[in-house]
Structure 1
Amino acid sequence: MFRYLSIGLAMTAFASSADAAAAACRKVMHLTQAYAVCSFDPAVSDIRVFHRGRDGLPYAGFEKLSRDLRQEGEYLEFAMNGGMYESDLTSVGLLVIDGIERKPIDRDKSWGNFYLKPNGVFFLQGGRAGVMETEAYVAAGIKPDFATQSGPMLVIDSTLHPAFLPQSDSLQIRNGVGVARDGKAVFVISLEPVRFHDFATLFRDQLDCVNALFLDGSISSLFAPSMNRYDNTHPMGPIIAVTKKIAGL
């Protein structure tokens, strides 16, 4: 059972948020396993990466982010943990917020999922979203409005990451992001433990994502009102969120 946040949203804003999320989020079955899938068009939805609040400290969760947004006349429509982080909640790799590079891209070799090359970058630029393998991203010279780096890549140009095994016994709750052929950003969290291979084939074979990126595993968290998800179990570093202006303000 998921723990709920008590975030005190205004009822009109909450109802509007739930209606929008209901249109964006759905439950999808893939290889007998269940996933929550939320899709947003970056040309019309305000998708951003968040990290630090008005007090200069990491948000660490959805409740503090929601409070800050309400002070700015906005509400939280959707949110998900947005990449791996250090013990102090700083991002492991690239983090760009409002066009400012808060942490540089990490091209080092080390251990763990982040360094299971190829890893990659999710970015937002001028009303479009993208997922690119790290070296391709660097070579492209992209100057994003927002970006977060994570790893491993799940799908690279319609090909699964070569390390993924179809019979792997490593089963975890996992979340990730891809960009569909129609340009929508597709955010996914598994509703039960799954292997990397199955998670990746969901993006490629059912969600029509040519490229997709793993965001994290056991700490995966989701804010999706229409699905009664207000996760508040683990601290977070970067957060990817969709926001809207509160009507009448």
Structure 2
Amino acid sequence: MKMKIWASLFAALALVVPRVALAEDPCRTVTFEGVPFTVCAATASDDVRVWLRDDNGRLIGTPGRLQALMAPGERLVFAMNGGMYAPDRSPVGLYVEKGREDHPIVTGAGEGNFGMLPNGVFCVGDRLRVIESRRFAAERPACRYATQSGPMLVIDGALHPRFIPDSDSTYIRNGVGVSPDGETAWFVISDRPVNFHRLARFFRDELGARDALYLDGSISRLMVPAQGRSDFGWPMGPIVGMVARD
């Protein structure tokens, strides 16, 4: 119950933040079945990254701090929580940054949403991919950046088999889905509490994603500097986002 109260509070705070969209802003609001979702699109040629620690080894924790760490000539286009993490905010599954694997992939079932198989990996390589974890472990595709989370929302066009259409487990939730050709990734956060089934259907039926991955819920937050949006929330583990060069 406390988590739902916090989720509702974060959503309310996000709504009062003034938003002024710029021409290059890739984030837009899409309403699906009466629920607004914010969608930030990136292409395979964009600079999509995941982050965890700064150059001194300290956890970054927040999109605001990440924005302050941008190199000269770079700016943060958007950022959101990028996968599940342990109490010390370290990744619970595969984590790859700048081609280096900092945590191995986990393929076994477990507790919580992460362990609700199938789970999956978001991989930034020559293409943008969401891959079921056991398939990823078998194929080992090259990723400059990768983050594992779960459950999968959409697997080859099908919804996760354990999702319940009328489930009352609703939270602010976020995830990432990819186009069939791997040229586009959609980073999505619900602007109202939703269940897994509705979030998955949004990716499949509204965006056309054949593969999509849940990143988290209740703690989900988004920062879009061009809109003046910076959702309130606690420090997090992995962060995923896009960088542009001025």
- State if a TM-score over 0.5 links the two structures: yes
Relative to structure 1, is the Cα distance of residues 143 and 39 closer, same or farther in structure 2, using a 3 angstrom cutoff? Answer: same
Deviates more, 1:171-180 or 1:102-111: 102-111
Aligned equivalents of 1:231, 1:89: Cα separation in 2 = 19
Aligned equivalents of 1:171, 1:54: Cα separation in 2 = 37
Q: Is 2:56 aligned against 1:55?
A: yes
Match of 2:222 in 1: 222
> How far 1:226 sits from its partner (Å)?
4.1
Match of 1:12 in 2: none
> How far 1:173 sits from its partner (Å)?
0.6
Aligned equivalents of 1:231, 1:56: Cα separation in 2 = 25
2:24 to 20, 36, 39: 20
Structure 1 vs Structure 2 CA RMSD? 1.7
Aligned equivalents of 2:227, 2:209: Cα separation in 1 = 23
> How far 1:236 sits from its partner (Å)?
1.0
Segments of structure 2 that go 5 or more residues without pairing to the other structure are 1-11
Q: Is the 8 A contact 2:76 2:225 kept in 1?
A: no
Relative to structure 1, is the Cα distance of residues 34 and 3 closer, same or farther in structure 2, using a 3 angstrom cutoff? Answer: closer
Aligned equivalents of 2:180, 2:85: Cα separation in 1 = 29
Match of 2:122 in 1: 122
Q: Deviations over 1:163-195 (max 9, x none)?
A: 001111111110000002352010100000001
Relative to structure 1, is the Cα distance of residues 179 and 217 closer, same or farther in structure 2, using a 3 angstrom cutoff? Answer: same
Match of 1:42 in 2: 44
Q: Which runs of 4+ in 1 moved over 4 A?
A: none
Aligned-partner SS, 1:90: coil
Equivalent residue letter for 1:180 = S
> How far 1:55 sits from its partner (Å)?
2.1
Aligned-partner SS, 1:137: helix
Match of 2:65 in 1: 64
Match of 1:110 in 2: 110
Relative to structure 1, is the Cα distance of residues 195 and 209 closer, same or farther in structure 2, using a 3 angstrom cutoff? Answer: same
Segments of structure 1 that go 5 or more residues without pairing to the other structure are 5-14
Match of 2:88 in 1: 88
Match of 2:8 in 1: none
Match of 2:6 in 1: none
Aligned equivalents of 1:81, 1:204: Cα separation in 2 = 21
Match of 1:197 in 2: 197
> How far 1:108 sits from its partner (Å)?
2.5
Relative to structure 1, is the Cα distance of residues 181 and 109 closer, same or farther in structure 2, using a 3 angstrom cutoff? Answer: closer
Aligned equivalents of 1:93, 1:124: Cα separation in 2 = 16
* 1:161-180 → structure 2 map (5 Å cutoff): 161-180=160-179
Aligned equivalents of 1:18, 1:104: Cα separation in 2 = 39
Q: TM-score, normalised to structure 1's length?
A: 0.88
Aligned equivalents of 2:221, 2:204: Cα separation in 1 = 22
Identity %: 44
Aligned equivalents of 2:23, 2:77: Cα separation in 1 = 9
Q: Deviations over 1:93-139 (max 9, x none)?
A: 0000000000000123221000000000000013x200011011111
Aligned equivalents of 1:158, 1:174: Cα separation in 2 = 20
